[in-house]
Structure 1
Amino acid sequence: MPHELSGYLADFVQHLESEKRHSPRTSENYQRDLLRLASWLVEHDCTEWRAVSGHDLRRYVASLSRQGLSGRSIARHLSATRRFYQYLLRERLATDNPALDIRAPKSSKRLPRVADVDQLNSLLDALPDDPLEVRDRCMFELMYSSGLRLAELASLDVDSVDCKGGEARVVGKGSKTRILPVGRKALEAIGQWMPVRAGLAPEAETALFVSRRGDRLSHRSIQARLSRWGVAKGADQKLYPHMLRHSFASHMLESSGDLRAVQELLGHADISTTQVYTHLDFQHLARVYDQSHPRARRRSGHGYDDQNSEREGNV
């Protein structure tokens, strides 16, 4: 590789570590992405950073897309390139930033996975086998009851939940506080957990959910316990905390159709974040339509395709 390509790149990485105080891992990520660009430039007979044009970068983005990189990954490559050219401009090693107007292709938005209502009811109705499972069921009931994020659940204190009023005070992203309703089943689970907690937590501990040692339960521990609960209680898919939040949102929207209310309950600053659940709701409506409308039903085994399967494959 020509020295101008590799040498300037090495100087940039040194700049990130010494002046910008980036971690070695962040610097390595920049270096990896830019080395990939430099190798592509060499293959296309370009040996100077100052000679790279916007047209060259568009061709590079197209090549990354053909190689199967997602829009998000390509956006990361372009971000590294823009940052690198800012450095080159500062050092007067380039005359413009050819990456400024280049945009990555949009990735198709992945829909969050949700659990079936009946399966969740079955899992949450399963009886705990030991005191720690009493805690686990309480955590999962509360997460599904109120649509909590993992961090919100872990940060709950004993006085965060008003069992008489049936509500919880939650601190979400941006340290924003919201008051959420807590369902009957979750309140019952809290009532069963509190006597167990009293035998584990020291008097000074404020956390609602504590470990066997009596200290606040970590995020990782909550994730591991939910996965364990799913396996022990016969879930047909791996359970993770955000699935319970997704399931809460989707099931609420299916029943109420009130997107604004679901936005408030989830603590989304922008309703566009909540709108992903309208796609999930449409899948539910589409299944109902396919199974119910007399002009939509196709009988399998009589030369017809299963329209429900066909629709799900296209969503």
Structure 2
Amino acid sequence: MHTHLDAYCTHLRSERQASDHTLQAYRRDLLKVLEYCEAEKLAGWAALDIQRLRRLIARLHQQGQSSRSLARLLSAVRGLYRYLNREGLCAHDPANGLAPPKGERRLPKTLDADRSMQLLDGGIEEDFLGYRDQAMLELFYSSGLRLSELTGLDLEHLDLADGLVQVLGKGSKTRLLPVGRKAREALQAWLPQRLLANPQDDAVFVSQQGRRLSPRAIQLRVRLAGVRELGQHLHPHMLRHSFASHMLESSQDLRAVQELLGHADIATTQIYTHLDFQHLSKVYDSAHPRAKRSAQPGPAVLPGLSEDSEE
């Protein structure tokens, strides 16, 4: 079973071009399944059936594993069994028809429009780090980039004349995104500073030593900006969530936001409709005279009339 798992991981890397992050996550999940199979004394992957896999999912859920993590585990199992079936090593998929336990779906945290402007319109240190960090923040918010997309950005992907950026998203899919005026201005201010570091490659965002910034370094700089300008925790994906929420709130065009974010499934984008409705609900509760709660008791009901009687 270990041999087949190793072969599948090699297949993911070489044929499916899976990222290191995806590969490590799938391997961790499948090792949990393998350990369970060994504890059950199963002879091989072909011996794992739907009943046993369901029991494993239930056990992991009871141990506190989230619905989202269990969904990923089931996805890893399905991928493994597609490979095993293709190689003639198995003739079934124990994950077929299985779904993870439903969990509470947490809404993503966002900045409102005023807080976003406060972050981006704060004072900029006119030096290498100041120009670079401002360009990163503006581009995150302007185009809704993922952290990995901004990290992998090269000069050839930028077209500031036409206000466009090409990014490589999940599944090695590219998409072309607009870049707003403020982000273009920030990038134009940054690019001359970039040359001072004698860059080692064509990365748009580099360190003072000329090396492409790592995801960890970008996360740190965004967090520092959040503390400095807003006094709160901030991470790159919060800027992406804010971009999506503000775009949907203004345009009401779910399909367009899906395309901008690079979501394969529109159900992923629909989470932002919940954010939009949450905002509308707060506005309603605070503004509508019949929605406001009163601490005073209601008027007494006149004798002979019930509260639901018609006049």
Q: Tell me which residue corresponds to 2:258.
A: 263
Q: Tell me which residue corresponds to 1:9.
A: none
Structure 1 pair 63–123 and aligned structure 2 pair: CA distance change class (3 A): same
Structure 1 pair 252–66 and aligned structure 2 pair: CA distance change class (3 A): same
* Percentage identity across paired residues of the two chains: 46
Q: CA deviation at 1:139?
A: 0.9
1:170 match: secondary structure: strand
Q: Tell me which residue corresponds to 1:291.
A: 286
1:297 match: secondary structure: coil
Answering whether residue 2 of structure 2 is matched by residue 13 of structure 1, we say yes
1:177 match: secondary structure: strand
1 CA distance for matches of 2:293 and 2:190?
50
- Which residues in structure 2 correspond to 1:75-114 (within 5 Å)? 75=71, 100-114=96-110
Equivalent position amino acid for 2:173 in 1: S
Answering whether residue 140 of structure 2 is matched by residue 151 of structure 1, we say no
Tell me, yes or no, if the aligned pair for 1:178 and 1:267 is still in contact at 8 Å.
no
Tell me, yes or no, if the aligned pair for 2:118 and 2:230 is still in contact at 8 Å.
no
Q: Tell me which residue corresponds to 2:234.
A: 239
Q: CA deviation at 1:18?
A: 7.2
2 CA distance for matches of 1:51 and 1:184?
59
Q: CA deviation at 1:228?
A: 1.8
Tell me, yes or no, if the aligned pair for 2:248 and 2:254 is still in contact at 8 Å.
yes
Equivalent position amino acid for 1:13 in 2: H
TM-score by length of 1: 0.71
1 CA distance for matches of 2:9 and 2:180?
48
Q: Tell me which residue corresponds to 1:213.
A: 209
Q: Tell me which residue corresponds to 1:7.
A: none
Structure 1 pair 295–257 and aligned structure 2 pair: CA distance change class (3 A): same
Give ranges in structure 1 of 5+ residues lacking alignment.
1-11, 305-315
Equivalent position amino acid for 2:254 in 1: L
Q: Tell me which residue corresponds to 2:226.
A: 230
Equivalent position amino acid for 2:144 in 1: G
Q: Tell me which residue corresponds to 1:131.
A: 128
Structure 1 pair 302–101 and aligned structure 2 pair: CA distance change class (3 A): same
Answering whether residue 197 of structure 2 is matched by residue 200 of structure 1, we say yes
Equivalent position amino acid for 1:16 in 2: L
Q: CA deviation at 1:59?
A: 5.2
Structure 1 pair 51–295 and aligned structure 2 pair: CA distance change class (3 A): same
1:276 aligns with one of 259, 271, 275: 271
Q: CA deviation at 1:60?
A: 5.3
Structure 1 pair 296–161 and aligned structure 2 pair: CA distance change class (3 A): same
Tell me, yes or no, if the aligned pair for 2:115 and 2:230 is still in contact at 8 Å.
no
TM-score by length of 2: 0.72
1:171 match: secondary structure: strand
Q: Tell me which residue corresponds to 2:175.
A: 177
Q: CA deviation at 1:141?
A: 0.7
Tell me, yes or no, if the aligned pair for 1:34 and 1:77 is still in contact at 8 Å.
no
Deviations 1:129-161 (CA, angstroms, capped at 9, x unpaired)? 342122101110111011122222233333533
Q: CA deviation at 1:205?
A: 4.3
Q: CA deviation at 1:121?
A: 1.2
Q: CA deviation at 1:223?
A: 1.4
Deviations 1:83-134 (CA, angstroms, capped at 9, x unpaired)? 69x79xx889xx9876655443233333221112222211211222342122
Tell me, yes or no, if the aligned pair for 1:37 and 1:60 is still in contact at 8 Å.
no
2 CA distance for matches of 1:58 and 1:161?
48
Give ranges in structure 2 of 5+ residues lacking alignment.
14-22, 299-311
Tell me, yes or no, if the aligned pair for 2:37 and 2:48 is still in contact at 8 Å.
no
Q: Tell me which residue corresponds to 1:161.
A: 158
Q: CA deviation at 1:212?
A: 0.3
2 CA distance for matches of 1:201 and 1:106?
51
